[in-house]
Amino acid sequence: MAEHYLAVDGVRAYCEEIFRRHGFDDDACRQIVDVVLTADLYGIESHGIQRMQRYHDSLRRKLVDVNARPDVVYETPLSAVMEANRAMGQTTAYMAMRLAIDKAKQHGFGAVTVRNCNHYGIAGYYAKMAVNEDLMGGSSTNTEAIAIPTFGKQPMLGTSPLALGMPADPYDFLFDCATTVVPRGKIEIYGKRGLPLKPGWAADENGKSCLDAGHVLENINKKAFGGIFPIGGESVLTGSHKGYGLGIIAEIFTGILSGGDTSPHVKNGGMGDTSFGFFALDYGLFGDKASIRARVSALLQELRDSAKAEGHDRIYTHGELEMISHDEKLKSGIPAGDRTVEELISIGKDMGLNYADYVREVS
Amino acid sequence: MAEHYLAVDGVRAYCEEIFRRHGFDDDACRQIVDVVLTADLYGIESHGIQRMQRYHDSLRRKLVDVNARPDVVYETPLSAVMEANRAMGQTTAYMAMRLAIDKAKQHGFGAVTVRNCNHYGIAGYYAKMAVNEDLMGGSSTNTEAIAIPTFGKQPMLGTSPLALGMPADPYDFLFDCATTVVPRGKIEIYGKRGLPLKPGWAADENGKSCLDAGHVLENINKKAFGGIFPIGGESVLTGSHKGYGLGIIAEIFTGILSGGDTSPHVKNGGMGDTSFGFFALDYGLFGDKASIRARVSALLQELRDSAKAEGHDRIYTHGELEMISHDEKLKSGIPAGDRTVEELISIGKDMGLNYADYVREVS
């Protein structure tokens, strides 16, 4: 359980001020912090304010270039490729998705790839940007290699998420999933709690399923063989080749189509050489938008209303939990543990800011 | 093991003549039979000549309208929606993908959806049509509902495949996977052999994993609850929600964007009310094509060359096995069991054709 529930406005202003003092302009601060807080609001705490320490550290170590401006190095009416010049992930991704959205609004479809950038937060945020403009949207990023191919034992692909959004009522459809069976953070949580991993999550140095989280993480950290299995797990009998293929698709859409580094060549945890891919598609390309929107909303409602398995009383559609969580946490506050609050206080001190002047807890 | 190896040219001419006598013109015969034989050549026998009996029966029962011509009911420079009027799946899909390819060649991107059609064979065939024109290609179809949502027990989505192709050397990347953990055919094969299913493949009428193939198929046939789990299996711990989401994405790209029936409403095994989605994308939208093609080829080669898991001596990339199988079977012939050959002979008799005049076996 979280020990603190932070009112959203205060923590937003505080985090924005931290980035401002790192040298970002107002728009950039708003964009970065909105991605971070949206993760918390969606209930994806792994990508929320608990990452502020990491962003702060990488800015202080100049791994991210505050002054860098991404360049569009190739462009057509429907597409663009951006060289990020090691700029901040969120601001670059925001710019790229805006460009894809503008192209989709003008021509029906827009796709933009980005190379040499940094972590961009949750993939779904950018897909949702398109959804908020009544378009379909897609987003992906590669990462340092941590996933092993089916029948392999060497980390070759990223946990690279694929996100896809489609406007619907009352809940937009928002799919956002790592192409590995679990993200690295899940292995870490099980390790910290001393729990055995589930079979088919992670591989030892021989490429065989391994339940010892500590052993798996040690191998990952020392760049030995072993890693995380693709969606579908270890065996083709459970569909390992399907997740492996989705990982390649994410890599094509990011590292390949951007001219950037592919996951096997991404270094330093992806600092400065991560690639992204974005697209926006006007679903009006396929007829009357109100009718399409009504039809997809009906499909999602039918899924939610369909008969429940024994032991379950609810079926969700993708994005539903996130939208509900978002609206709830705007009132109840963002949950944070002691350690995250301590980190936020400490970051503020580094930057000459007093945490208590900004952040208040929801009682 | 197959009892017969049929020389490709002869079986092609024979099957084309069968469709010709059903009333299709030369182009249509060529298109239908090429899809069927490509499945066999790729090693996907479930979708090959063993389906000839089914096509023959549905034409005789007038479930497929030989004389129907699909209409383009909505069109933009980048997109089209086709009303198939219950025409043959392969000819309609061929026409739709050709249109998507033409649009991609002219504008960089083309997407075409189709409604009220019939089974189109292997999804990958149409993605490969785009690849053969040095484009990326995608293809999907919905099916009668057989997949249950995560936490559900009611069949709501299809086994709906997602196919994506990207040109590469020496093997094109060709991903083609059902969005369920296994296709229905796999359950049937395990049932016939009296083997227990793997956990997480199929659900009983309570939505719980069930290893009894006969019981699962009985439920499916009588439209009771239960069905096949999405990629990722039964539990969110193994990524069930990811496969479930991919199933929804397939449904959006087919039934929703075509204005056709969605899987919960598809009747008669999909005869006459199946929907498709296709896209073609010129990867030259992202820069020099030769360079992109070389980079993706290098990535795929790195994957194949990466370290092998204990007990495995080879790592494949998607499409590799299919391309190798294709070239081998052009020489060694298409494998067929006694029953398939008997069916082919019997179909010929129905249509006034002598099997032995056309088909010879490779010795």
Q: Does A354 touch chain B (CB under 8 A)?
A: no
Closest to A11 (Cα-Cα) out of A43, A46, A36, A42: A36
Q: Do B208 and A299 touch (CB under 8 A)?
A: no
Token duo for residue A254? 């990011």
pLDDT at residue B318, as a whole number: 98
Are residues A199 and A234 in contact, defined by beta-carbon separation less than 8 angstroms?
Answer: yes
Strand (E) or helix (H) holding B247: helix B240-251
What pTM was computed for the model?
Answer: 0.98
User: Using only C-alpha atoms, what is the Rg of chain A?
Assistant: 20
Q: Do A314 and B151 touch (CB under 8 A)?
A: yes
pLDDT at residue A314, as a whole number: 98
Low-confidence ranges of chain A (pLDDT < 50): none
pLDDT at residue A249, as a whole number: 98
A81: nearest CB among B175, B181, B286 = B286
C-alpha to C-alpha distances, B338 to A302, B3, B13, B335, nearest whole angstrom: 44, 6, 20, 10
How many Cα atoms within 13 Å fall on the side-chain side of residue A108?
Answer: 18
Nearest CA in chain A to B180: A239
Beta strands in chain B (DSSP E): 4-6, 71-76, 79-83, 109-117, 136-141, 161-166, 173-178, 202-203, 227-228, 274-281, 334-336
Are residues B247 and B139 in contact, defined by beta-carbon separation less than 8 angstroms?
Answer: no
Confidence check: pLDDT of B268 > 90: no
Which residues does A298 contact at the CB level (< 8 Å), separation at least 6? none
| Residues within 8 A of B (CB atoms), A 202-231 only | 203, 206-208, 225, 231
pLDDT at residue A1, as a whole number: 56
pLDDT category of residue B115 using cuts at 50, 70 and 90: very high
Are residues B120 and B97 in contact, defined by beta-carbon separation less than 8 angstroms?
Answer: no
Average pLDDT over residues B13-37: 98
Closest to B33 (Cα-Cα) out of B18, B54, B53: B18
pLDDT at residue A239, as a whole number: 96
pLDDT category of residue B223 using cuts at 50, 70 and 90: confident
Task: Read off the DSSP letter of residue B151.
Answer: T
pLDDT category of residue B185 using cuts at 50, 70 and 90: confident
- Mutant choice from A303, A310, A318, A320 vs B, greatest count of B C-beta within 10 A: A303
Are residues B179 and B246 in contact, defined by beta-carbon separation less than 8 angstroms?
Answer: yes
Domains of chain A: 1-61+333-363 (1.10.1530.10), 68-181+236-300 (3.30.1370.60), 182-228 (3.30.60.50)
The angle that helices A240-251 and B289-305 make with each other, rounded to 10 degrees, is 150
Cα-Cα-Cα-Cα torsion B98, B102, B104, B105, nearest 10 degrees, comes to: 130
Shortest Cα–Cα distance, B356 to chain A (Å): 39
Shortest Cα–Cα distance, A312 to chain B (Å): 6
Q: Do A299 and B111 touch (CB under 8 A)?
A: no
Q: Does B290 touch chain A (CB under 8 A)?
A: no
CA dist., res. A226 & res. A26, Å (int): 43
pLDDT at residue A259, as a whole number: 98
Residue B125: helix, strand or coil by DSSP?
helix
Give the per-residue SS3 of chain A.
Answer: CCCEEECHHHHHHHHHHHHHHCCCCHHHHHHHHHHHHHHHHHCCHHHCHHHHHHHHHHHHCCCCCCCCCCEEEEEECCEEEEECCCCCHHHHHHHHHHHHHHHHHHHCEEEEEEEEECCCCCHHHHHHHHHCCCCEEEEEECCCCCECCCCECCCCECCCEEEEEECCCCCCEEEEEECECCCHHHHHHHHHCCCCCCCCCEECCCCCECCCHHHHHHHHHCCCCCEECECCCCCHHHCHHHHHHHHHHHHHHHHHHHCCCCHHHCCHHHCCCEEEEEEEECHHHHCCHHHHHHHHHHHHHHHHHCCECCCCCCCCCCCHHHHHHHHHHHHHCEEECHHHHHHHHHHHHHCCCCHHHHCCECC
What is the CA angle A340-A341-A345, rounded to 5? 120
C-alpha to C-alpha distances, A88 to A129, A136, B45, B237, nearest whole angstrom: 18, 25, 50, 33
CA dist., res. B261 & res. B274, Å (int): 7
Shortest Cα–Cα distance, A261 to chain B (Å): 10
**Torsion over CA: B13, B15, B16, B22 (sign):** positive
- Mutant choice from A256, A266, A302, A317 vs B, greatest count of B C-beta within 10 A: A256
- Mutant choice from B285, B301, B310 vs A, greatest count of A C-beta within 10 A: B285
B335-349 tens-digit pLDDT: 999 999 999 999 999
B287: nearest CB among A149, A259, A316 = A259
pLDDT at residue B1, as a whole number: 56
B225-265 tens-digit pLDDT: 999 999 999 999 999 999 999 999 999 999 999 999 999 99
C-alpha to C-alpha distances, A22 to A15, A58, A59, A347, nearest whole angstrom: 11, 11, 7, 11
Which residues does A187 contact at the CB level (< 8 Å), separation at least 6? A197, A201, A202, A213, A216, A217, A228
**Neighbour count for residue A337 (Cβ, 10 Å):** 14
A202 chain-B contacts, CB cut-off 8 A:
none
pLDDT at residue A270, as a whole number: 78
Cβ-count burial A133-166 (b if 16+ within 10 Å, e if not): bebbbbbbbbbbbbbbbbbbbbbbbbbbbbbbbb
Confidence check: pLDDT of B97 > 60: yes
Task: Read off the DSSP letter of residue B357.
Answer: H
pLDDT at residue A185, as a whole number: 87
